[in-house]
Amino acid sequence: MENLKDHISKISFVGLSGIGQWRLKQRLKRLNPRYPVSFFKDPEAAKTWLVHERA
């Protein structure tokens, strides 16, 4: 993700277990991303969040 940081505006992770989310959040704290990060169980909800434009 560090290599792509200039090209990412927001990112979503789908289908992670609770412990998987926790592990990823711990790593993201160290990276300190400058974009929103979300976690979803449903791929359609993730897609909607990713393509939603703020008014």
- How long a stretch of residues is the chain? 55
Higher pLDDT, 9 or 24: 24
How large is the average pLDDT for residues 10-37? 92
How large is the average pLDDT for residues 3-25? 90
Decide: helix, strand or coil at residue 45: helix
Mean pLDDT of the chain: 88
Running DSSP on this structure, what letter comes out for residue 7? T
One-letter amino acid of 19: I
Comparing C-alpha atoms, which of 9, 21, 16 is closest to residue 52? 9
Decide: helix, strand or coil at residue 6: coil
pTM confidence score:
0.74
